[in-house]
């Protein structure tokens, strides 16, 4: 059975070697490496190193070394094909025998990758060494791009000639019909000619390392400013993200990713030390891009240009990101600025300050609507009803916090908003056509299946944590009986759990629980949170515990909130001690949510 190379690359891309080996070996961070006791020979001093950024491990005691496939071969004592199948199942990648048509398609993709690689090398060489590249070198210098950044991103220059790339590809033995499918050349009446001419060339890479597309920027002010690769057999616009192949590790470590619009904005941020930056290569997100981001980080910081187009793009992107399960924050820039100009004018420290001051997506949406209310100079009663409608479009646990915010922005009392829905003309505060399109993103405490799954997948990745969190995560939070049964077995065996195999053994003859646990372990990368080490797993579980505690506070606040509503309708008043309790709950939840979301 022949295995496509892109299948192997996809498995490597989906499985973080540090997280995977961390389920078998207790690893601790040391510099860029993860270090632990070698599983292949007895030792008391750690000599086993995992290099997540390079994708391999090495033991300096017994000299065992290799990639993730080799680790499984050595650990399980199986040949490569079996290790491949095991990892493919874990990564959610299907392995099939190649049909003749699949073999042809694979061959075509590999040839396109080769053509793109040759083109990238040609463009880069022309920028660095060729006399024709002087205009591009001057442009890069004017944009503040260092030689290290030019080399790291392999920036290049397509000279204003018709056959420069054609000649290079021909000399390299690359079929020009393949190069045409890659979008590198065009067919004319006299043969093939270069598609890109007189442009700064910026390659885009797949997360598995291949060059899949190019962006060509005009250097003489001509339009269009950018000419980009169209859809090819290896690239579909709206799916890829520029620099994701290099940003994903930093994003996974910080659980945060910064998204900008353009190539040069992204490169400027990387040059300034913000290695978690990517570019959307457009003005708004697609669902595929948002899903790709969620694989590596939950928190997404949007930093689009500070103009009307950038603001509109931000609004559209928020809905897509929240639907994908991300928590969106907005990075504000001065009018007329973009990330590149801001970094060059103000420096990295000031940009970091902007990141620290980023505000949550709810505030961004409310601000836009409140500005409309103010611009229309609505009467206070009407403004209160409209603002209350906006607040009630949010998840219920956010109502009181954002009532306070909206009331402050409008110069009204919080009770004006709360009472507004009991005034006449109730149609005025019903759902409005053309109103804000809020996406209801309920916190995990309100979504038992999701939080239960997150707890179990984390514990199954590192079963030794079960005993540590048994007292803090009560079994009563599991509403899904299948998940409750899994957790019950893990609790019963907590004192003897060390590896993933120990966890499976804990289920004994309960085949249904074991199968459910295996299914959880084999969740696709896009739907399962992965962590580089034990510290990251503990941090995730700690966050869940905080949310569970928030859930109890929310339950009591809802009771009091409903009591307030009933009393207001009846013309009564809440007893002082209950009102004090309510105010205390609001403040505690506000502090907790602010800390969790990074806004306080």
The Cα 506–Cα 490 span in angstroms is 7
The confidence band for 593, taking pLDDT boundaries of 50, 70 and 90, is low
Q: What is the pLDDT of residue 432?
A: 36
- Using the 3D structure, point to which of 336, 357, 378 is the last residue of a domain: 357
Per-residue model confidence as pLDDT tens digits over 301-351: 999 887 777 788 888 888 888 888 788 999 999 988 999 999 999 999 999
Q: Is residue 239 part of a domain?
A: no
The confidence band for 175, taking pLDDT boundaries of 50, 70 and 90, is very high
Asked if pLDDT for residue 434 goes beyond 50, the answer is: no
Which has more pLDDT, 117 or 421?
117
Q: CATH number for the domain including 177?
A: 3.90.980.10
Task: Indicate whether 190 and 210 sit together in one domain.
Answer: yes
588's CB contacts (< 8 A; 6+ apart) are 553
Q: What is the pLDDT of residue 422?
A: 55
- Nearest-5° Cα angle at 303, 302 to 305: 130
Task: Indicate whether 489 and 516 sit together in one domain.
Answer: yes
- Using the 3D structure, point to which of 357, 372, 394 is the last residue of a domain: 357
Measured CA to CA in angstroms, residue 347 lies from 17, 258, 271 at distances of: 35, 17, 11
Task: Indicate whether 473 and 572 sit together in one domain.
Answer: yes
Task: Indicate whether 502 and 582 sit together in one domain.
Answer: yes
Q: Is residue 299 part of a domain?
A: yes
Encoding tokens for residue 191? 């043969």
Q: What is the pLDDT of residue 49?
A: 92
pTM: 0.59
Distance of CA 343 to the CA centre of its chain: 23
The strand pairing partners of 156, in sequence order, are 201
Task: Indicate whether 473 and 350 sit together in one domain.
Answer: no
Q: CATH number for the domain including 42?
A: 3.90.580.10
Compute the average pLDDT of residues 150-159: 97
Q: CATH number for the domain including 281?
A: 3.40.1360.10
| Nearest Cα to Cα of residue 8 among 79, 103, 87 | 87
DSSP H helices in 212-330:
244-254, 263-271, 287-294, 308-323
The Cα 72–Cα 412 span in angstroms is 64
Q: What is the pLDDT of residue 446?
A: 35
- 106: domain range? 100-228
Task: Indicate whether 22 and 72 sit together in one domain.
Answer: yes
Cα-Cα-Cα-Cα torsion 308, 309, 315, 320, nearest 10 degrees, comes to -170
Q: Is residue 330 part of a domain?
A: yes
Task: Indicate whether 153 and 132 sit together in one domain.
Answer: yes
Q: What is the pLDDT of residue 350?
A: 95
Backbone angles phi, psi at 447, to 5 degrees: -130, 75
Question: Picking from 11-25, 272-286, 437-451, 560-574, which range would have the lowest pLDDT averaged per residue?
Answer: 437-451
Per-residue model confidence as pLDDT tens digits over 8-60: 888 888 888 988 888 777 788 888 789 988 888 767 778 899 998 888 899 88
- Using the 3D structure, point to which of 357, 382, 415 is the last residue of a domain: 357
Q: Is residue 235 part of a domain?
A: no
Contacts by residues 468-474 (CB-CB < 8 Å, ≥ 24 positions apart): 468/538, 469/541, 469/545, 470/494, 472/545, 473/541, 473/544, 473/545, 473/548
Task: Indicate whether 499 and 587 sit together in one domain.
Answer: yes
- Structural domains of the chain, count: 5
Task: Indicate whether 291 and 398 sit together in one domain.
Answer: no
The Cα 298–Cα 536 span in angstroms is 13
Asked if pLDDT for residue 482 goes beyond 80, the answer is: yes
Compute the average pLDDT of residues 478-500: 86
């Amino acid at each position: 059975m022949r295995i496509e190379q892109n299948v192997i690359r996809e498995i490597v891309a989906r499985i973080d070697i540090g997280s995977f080996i961390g389920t078998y070996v207790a690893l601790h961070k040391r510099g860029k490496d993860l270090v632990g006791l070698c599983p292949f020979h007895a030792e008391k001093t750690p000599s086993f190193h995992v290099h997540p950024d390079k994708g391999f491990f090495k033991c300096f005691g017994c000299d065992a070394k290799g990639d993730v496939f080799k680790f499984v071969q050595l650990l399980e004592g199986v040949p490569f094909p079996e290790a491949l199948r095991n990892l493919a199942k874990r990564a959610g990648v299907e392995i099939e025998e190649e049909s003749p048509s699949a073999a042809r398609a694979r061959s075509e993709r590999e040839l396109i990758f080769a053509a793109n690689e040759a083109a990238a090398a040609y463009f880069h060489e022309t920028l660095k060494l060729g006399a024709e590249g002087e205009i591009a070198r001057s442009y890069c210098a004017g944009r503040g791009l260092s030689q290290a950044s030019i080399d790291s991103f392999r920036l290049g220059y397509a000279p204003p000639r018709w056959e420069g790339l054609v000649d290079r590809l021909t000399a390299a033995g690359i079929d020009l019909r393949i190069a045409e499918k890659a979008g590198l050349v065009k067919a004319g009446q006299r043969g093939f000619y270069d598609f890109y001419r007189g442009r700064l060339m910026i390659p885009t890479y797949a997360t598995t390392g291949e060059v899949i597309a190019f962006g060509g920027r005009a250097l003489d002010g001509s339009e269009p400013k950018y000419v980009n690769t169209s859809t090819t057999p290896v690239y579909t616009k709206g799916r890829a993200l520029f620099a994701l192949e290099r940003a994903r590790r930093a994003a996974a470590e910080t659980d945060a990713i910064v998204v900008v619009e353009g190539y040069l904005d992204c490169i400027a941020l990387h040059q300034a030390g913000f290695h978690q930056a990517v570019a959307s290569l457009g003005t708004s997100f697609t669902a595929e891009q948002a899903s790709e981001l969620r694989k590596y980080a939950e928190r997404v910081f949007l930093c689009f240009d500070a103009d009307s187009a950038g603001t509109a793009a931000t609004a559209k992107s928020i809905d897509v990101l929240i639907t994908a399960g991300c928590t969106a924050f907005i990075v504000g820039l001065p009018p007329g600025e973009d990330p590149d100009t801001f970094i060059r004018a103000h420096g990295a420290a000031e940009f970091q300050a902007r990141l620290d001051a980023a505000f949550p997506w709810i505030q961004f949406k409310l601000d836009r609507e409140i500005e409309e209310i103010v611009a229309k100079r609505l009467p206070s009663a009407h403004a209160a009803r409209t603002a209350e409608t906006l607040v009630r479009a949010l998840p219920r646990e956010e109502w009181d916090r954002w009532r306070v915010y909206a009331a402050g922005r409008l110069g009204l009392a919080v009770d004006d908003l709360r009472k507004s829905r009991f005034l006449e003309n109730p149609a005025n505060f019903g759902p409005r056509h053309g109103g804000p399109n809020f996406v209801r993103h309920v916190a995990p405490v309100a979504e038992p299946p999701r939080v239960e799954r997150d707890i179990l997948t984390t514990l199954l990745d590192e079963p030794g944590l079960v005993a540590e969190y048994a007292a803090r995560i009560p079994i009563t939070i599991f509403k899904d009986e299948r998940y409750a049964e899994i957790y019950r077995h893990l609790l019963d065996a907590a004192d003897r759990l060390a590896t993933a195999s120990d966890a499976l053994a804990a289920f004994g003859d309960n085949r249904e629980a074991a199968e459910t646990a295996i299914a959880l372990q084999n969740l696709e990368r896009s739907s399962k949170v992965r962590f580089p080490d034990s510290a990251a797993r503990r941090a995730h579980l700690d966050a869940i515990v905080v949310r569970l505690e928030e859930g109890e506070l929310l339950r009591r606040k809802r009771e009091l909130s409903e009591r307030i509503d009933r009393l207001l309708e009846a013309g009564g008043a809440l007893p002082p001690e209950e009102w004090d309790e309510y105010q205390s709950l609001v403040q505690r939840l506000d502090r907790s949510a602010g800390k969790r979301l990074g806004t306080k």
